[in-house]
Amino acid sequence: MSDDEIQELRSRFAREAMRLMERRGEEVTRTKLAAELGVARARLDAVFPEEGDLLEAVTGEWFAPKLAVMDEVMASGLPPRRKMYEFFARRFRLLRQNYRDDPATFNLYVEMGERYFEYARSYIDLADHYLCELIAEAQAEGFLEGLEVDTAMSLINQMVICYLQPYMIAMIDERLSEEKLALIVGAIFDGLDTQDGGARGTQDIRAA
């Protein structure tokens, strides 16, 4: 088989594995998938030489829509503030809808992500890379003044973590909203810099 044919089969088999997971509520092995599809195990092994290759393909399919919206936002000509909001909000909408459509399956993917974190790492790394680009664009217009890009990235990720971490969305879905996220992004642009605002200004907690 050509590389294109193998890639096409990877995607097709991964989607079939996801449908099977949704029906059974459990992870799918190559053996279970072959039996479900009525194909020889050797055919699956040719596409997924290792068990982890199937899990990696499933992870890739689950993250594909999130990657697509990140790419779309990064290619847009939006101003930095709006661009950063859309970068977070569009992924949040997808994750929240995934959860609300099927909480049990969503939680299954969350558990898989925790056990097989290495398969999700490339998505996380790309999201951080894109965020660094957004920070650089914001700094070019005078925002986030004085902050190192890596520091700004860490701070911003901590501020929006509830909107991007699947397990947090599952825990506090009803408390999250796009309106609140917009306020967080506004606070990032209006107040996140290296200026000392006095939060760490005293040695004890008694008022002067």
CATH of the domain at 138: 1.10.357.10
In a domain, 171, yes or no: yes
Question: Quick one: 16 and 117 in the same domain?
Answer: no
Question: Quick one: 27 and 99 in the same domain?
Answer: no
Contact residues for 95 (Cβ-Cβ < 8 A; gap 6+): 66, 164, 166, 169
Provide the pLDDT for residue 52: 87
Question: Quick one: 44 and 61 in the same domain?
Answer: no
Provide the pLDDT for residue 109: 87
pTM flag (> 0.85): yes
Alpha-carbon torsion angle 53, 58, 62, 63, nearest 10: 0
Provide the pLDDT for residue 203: 65
Q: Which domain holds residue 16?
A: 1-49
Provide the pLDDT for residue 90: 97
In a domain, 207, yes or no: no
Provide the pLDDT for residue 169: 95
Provide the pLDDT for residue 67: 92
Residues 201 and 168: their CA atoms lie apart, in Å, by 32
Residues 48 and 119: their CA atoms lie apart, in Å, by 14
Question: How many domains does one find in the chain?
Answer: 2
Q: What is the mean pLDDT of each run of 10 residues along the chain (208 residues)?
A: 80 93 90 93 92 88 92 96 97 96 91 80 91 97 94 96 94 96 96 71 62
In a domain, 197, yes or no: no
108 near 26, Cβ under 8 Å?
Answer: yes
Question: Quick one: 73 and 176 in the same domain?
Answer: yes
